[in-house]
Every structure is written in C-alpha cells, then in structure tokens.
Amino acid sequence: MRVVRTVEQLREAISFMRHTGQGAVGLVPTMGYLHDGHASLLRRAGEMCGTVVLSIFVNPIQFGPNEDYEAYPRDERRDLELAEREGADIVFIPSVEVMYPRPIRTKIAVSSLTTRLCGASRPGHFDGVTTVVAKLFNMVQPEYAFFGLKDAQQVAVLRQMVDDLNMNVEIIPCPIVRERDGLALSSRNVYLSAEERRQALVLSRSLQEARKAVEEGRAATTDEVRELLTSIISSSPLADIDYAEILTFPALEPLEGNLPLNRAEGEIIMALAVRFGRTRLIDNIIFTPKEVAALV
C-alpha cells in the first residue's frame, strides 16, 4: 500500500498501476476515522477493481460555520491500519493547502435534489461535497466510485452530477452497515454519550416499524408514515427531529396521498435526521421497485 499526500504523487502512483495492467481504478472517498462501513466500501471496490484508491480528507467547504469541522474525529494511524487490512493500494491524504491552494472560486451546485432533507438544514453543504468529489474524480480518473447509502441523498446528488456533466465514472452505491443492535455506523457515533447511544437506536427501530406498517397496510397514506416515524422517534426524550420524510428515490420528490404510491417512479425512501445532544445522525430505508410493486 502506498500513501501519497500531493496530487503529483497521486497521479504518478495511479499511472504506474495503469501502466502495469492492474485493471480498473476504483475510488473510495472518505473523511477518515474509518469504520466497518468504510471497510465494506473498500472490499466492494476490491471485488470490482484492480486498483483501489482511498482518499482521506476532512473537507472544510462542506461544513457550515457552526458545524463540527474542527472537532471532526481524526486518527490517521488507525485509518491506515484499516486501509491496509482491507486491501487499499493507494491512500491519498492531502492537506487543505493541497486541495485548495488558493481561495476556491469555482463550485459545482446540483439544484433541486439539494433543497430537501439534509440540504434544507445544511445550506451549502452539498455544494462542498460535489466540488470536492469532482476534484477527486479529476485527480484520480476512476472508472468506479463507491459511496455508502447511509447518506442516500449524497448518492443521489453525485449520480446527478455525474450524469449532467458526462463524467466518465460510475457511482456504486453500497448498503448501510449497522451495529448488531441496528445503529447505522457513522464516524460521528463517537460523539454520543452512553445514554444518547442507547436512545439513538430509535432511528432504525422507527424505520423498521414504519416499513412493517406500510407492508401490512396499517399506514395507508404518506402522512400516516410521517406521523408514525415522528411518534416513535419522539418517544426518546433526547431525540430532536430534523426531518422524517418519505420521498421518491433518487429524484427525492415529495410523495403525497394514498399508498401504495403508484405514481412513484423507481424506488421510495424513508429518510431521517435526528439530533441527540450535539450529534446529528441520519438513517434511511429504501424500497426497491419490486418492493414498491408488492405494496399494490
């Protein structure tokens, strides 16, 4: 495994791998503090690609002024151990000065998809995400890029960017990885106190109960789904709900009316964002087209 810290070193390492016939290049962009969810992305990339590039960069331009950029957890040594264990070939760890050597005056903004869910409460966040990911795509030139579906809105936004700008890369969404008790893995879980961690289990429980209610016909409208999600989450005293929504996916268009939502094209997502103390957690469940059809 080779660790590189400049764009020149990165391009040299990738060029060497390509010229030695290592096959397709897969990119796993992260902000570090890696966990088993990231490990699953690296494993998937290894299955599909001859060269796996992991990037570790806490991107300042996707954080708002009152968010946790400075406090975001970092542990390079631990990250490198996991990366090597999971078969990364190249690890790119740039500084802010390498990624943004001058004040950035060009940003990529995806409209519509970024006005809902996390985009509504984190203005400018997705402009920072799309801009840094586009920079990484230009630096690495991967055939595939791997992202976890815990942040399903991010996956939808990046797919839209790639499609709109004819980028020569395929976004590969990967399943959410959870703890045994159901909590979705997140680098920010480290912020949770023991009691917040216990109460945060209400996220996955609310999604599973709402899904069961939809499948059994007990939640007959989208309003009832939202109300059910909200009531279950609110049973945890420490939970502060940002949103609980049911939308089309990946278009992220609002759904209104009676289930089974025959007007929905493709998939349906139930998505949550909830704060426990200073920690904001997201989670979701996506109904596949086959599952949506089965609701009829």
CATH of the domain at 49: 3.40.50.620
pTM of the model: 0.95
Q: Out of 174, 209, 242, pick the residue that ends a domain.
A: 174
The answer to whether position 82 is within a domain reads: yes
Binding residue ranges: 31-38, 62, 148-151, 154, 177, 185-188
pLDDT of residue 265: 57
Determine the Cα–Cα distance for residues 272 and 54; give it in Å rounded to an integer.
Answer: 28
110 has a pLDDT exceeding 60: yes
Same domain, 224 and 273: yes
Contacts 24+ apart (CB under 8 A), 47-50: 48/24, 48/144, 48/172, 49/23, 49/24, 49/25, 49/142, 49/143, 49/144, 50/17, 50/21, 50/22, 50/23, 50/24, 50/25
Q: What is the pLDDT of residues 207-224, one digit of tens each?
A: 999 999 988 888 888 899
Candidate ranges 13-22, 168-177, 284-293; pick with highest mean pLDDT: 168-177
Query: Computed over its alpha carbons, how large is the radius of gyration of the chain?
Result: 20
The answer to whether position 7 is within a domain reads: yes
Helix (H) or strand (E) holding 103: none
Query: Interior CA angle at 186 toward 128 and 54, to 5°?
Result: 60
- Burial bucket for residue 256 (CB in 10 Å: 0-12, 13-18, 19+): exposed
Query: Which range marks the domain in which residue 196 is found?
Result: 189-287
Catalytic, out of 4, 29, 38, 250? 38
- Tell me whether residue 125 is one of the annotated catalytic residues: no
Q: What is the pLDDT of residues 232-252, one digit of tens each?
A: 999 999 999 999 999 999 999
Three-state DSSP class for residue 293: helix
Contact 100, 42 (CB under 8 A): no
11 has a pLDDT exceeding 80: yes
